[in-house]
Amino acid sequence: MTATLDPTRVAGVLPAAQPFDLRTSIRFLEGFGACKGDQVMTADSITKAIAIDGQAVVFEVTPARDGVHYVLHSDRPISRATHDQVCDKIDGYLSLSDDLREFYALAEGDHPAFARLVKNLWGLHQVRFLTVAEIGVWAVLSQRTPKNVSVALKRRITGMFGRKLTVDGVEYQAFPELADLQHLGAADWAGIVKNARKAEYLACLVDGLLDLHEDYLAEAPYEEATKALRAIKGVGEFSAAAILLRGLGRMDFVPLEMPNFTEATAKLYGDGYDNQKLRDRYGRHLGYWAYYLHTGLGALRKEALS
């Protein structure tokens, strides 16, 4: 945390486990529809808003030697506690602390096509949803729903309940915190998402995540965390895995038998590939295998269409 005469603006540097290349994170976000329009990006910067205990903070990250340089902005003084919480969220958002060296070594001996994908994405750490509230709501919104509809609903929720902050003439809006959504009952959600089933699920989700606490979900044994999430009405196997993987960065499990993964695996490894071979090879890095596979295949599709 750099000392400044303006307590509403704080700057510093966050280290990243190497190799890390922020530009690969930016390229991923350019094609990540679930968070389209949620941040402002250039070729080497990401600027985004987050709400911490009711305070809106806008952060900008740019490349730095062995990490990222950050600048935090707010409309009121940024306390040490708020600064530390935002920095922790940036670290998680960009998975700065993830050490990929073992994963890269394992990928090098895998199928040649996958090894090539990994080399093309070298330095990419998983870009996660910024908060557990965001990934949780997204997991429910996207169930059996076209992506454009889910994105529109997510933007509506952000617009209605998210906190806004203008920096350098640009307005940023943070996805609401769980506490901002706690007052909404199923009837309120129904008026927003126009779907009674999802409305009930969203009301249960917010209450359930508040009861469980993010720290528990991040630290409990994976099976226990999954069981706790699936006890929330509307949270199935895929939604629970998404919250733990894409929201909390738990990379040790992927539901490989679900269609979303079997289809991607078949494209690279061929039909009927033995998933146990993937589990045995990658172990606690299985989530990174899945992340690189989907990201790499998405990049190839984009190239084919251009």
13 contacts 69 by C-beta, under 8 angstroms: yes
The answer to whether residue 221 sits within a structural domain is no
Q: What is the mean pLDDT of each run of 10 residues along the chain (306 residues)?
A: 78 98 96 93 98 98 97 97 98 98 97 94 98 98 95 97 97 98 98 97 98 96 97 96 96 90 92 93 96 87 51
Q: What is the pTM of this model?
A: 0.95
The verdict on residue 27 lying in a domain is yes
- Find the CATH number of the domain harbouring 72: 3.30.310.20
Range of the domain at 84: 9-97
Cβ contact 19:102 at 8 Å: no
Cis upstream peptide for 19 (omega within 30°):
yes
Distance (Å, whole) CA 107 – CA 128: 21
Q: Domain for residue 72, yes or no? A: yes
**Is 231 inside any structural domain?**
no
How many other C-beta atoms can be found within 10 angstroms of the C-beta atom of residue 135?
Answer: 22
* Tally of domains in the chain: 1
pLDDT at position 260 is 85
Whether residue 28 is contained in a domain is answered as yes
Calculate the alpha carbon distances from 156 to 152, 175, 189, 193 in Å: 6, 10, 11, 9
- The answer to the question of residue 73 being in a domain is yes
**In a domain? residue 52:** yes
Q: Residue 265 — φ and ψ, nearest 5°?
A: -60, -45
Nearest-CA neighbor of 53 among 35, 31, 76, 30?
76
Residue 57 lies in a domain: yes
Give the β-pairing of 67-74 and 55-64: antiparallel
